[in-house]
């Protein structure tokens, strides 16, 4: 990991990606990537995919966005897209 400051906890393999989402955001920031995750209350009320992850900058050639009905679904799609873009997120 680039910029590892020795603060990464051991990951519990039985828990989902939603448990490490903030660590992922922090790691992306250390790589120069601007990233955000949000929930949209209106989309939630409409039973639409309410969670959105967006990232740009740093080593990402183009900005990206991933949506999901749950944090886990959203972040799973986002991690796959980040890996396809050449960022090997260590989670």
**pLDDT digits over 22-57, tens only?**
999 999 999 999 999 999 999 999 999 999 999 999
pLDDT at 63 over 70: yes
Residues 45, 25: Cα–Cα separation, whole Å: 26
Q: Give the pLDDT band (50/70/90) at residue 11.
A: very low
First to last CA, the chain: 11
Q: What is the pTM of this model?
A: 0.80
DSSP at 58:
T
The pLDDT value given to residue 18: 74
60 token code pair: 């990402």
Residues 36, 79: Cα–Cα separation, whole Å: 13
pLDDT at 76 over 90: yes
Q: How many CB atoms lie within 10 A of CB 82?
A: 24
């Amino acid at each position: 990991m680039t910029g590892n400051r020795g603060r990464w906890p051991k990951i519990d393999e039985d828990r989902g990606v939603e448990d490490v989402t903030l660590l992922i955001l922090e790691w992306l920031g250390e790589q120069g990537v601007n990233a955000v995750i949000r929930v949209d209350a209106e989309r939630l009320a409409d039973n639409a995919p309410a969670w959105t992850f967006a990232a740009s900058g740093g080593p990402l050639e183009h900005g990206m966005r991933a949506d999901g009905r749950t944090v886990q679904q959203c972040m799973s799609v986002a991690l796959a897209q980040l890996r396809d873009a050449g960022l090997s997120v260590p989670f």
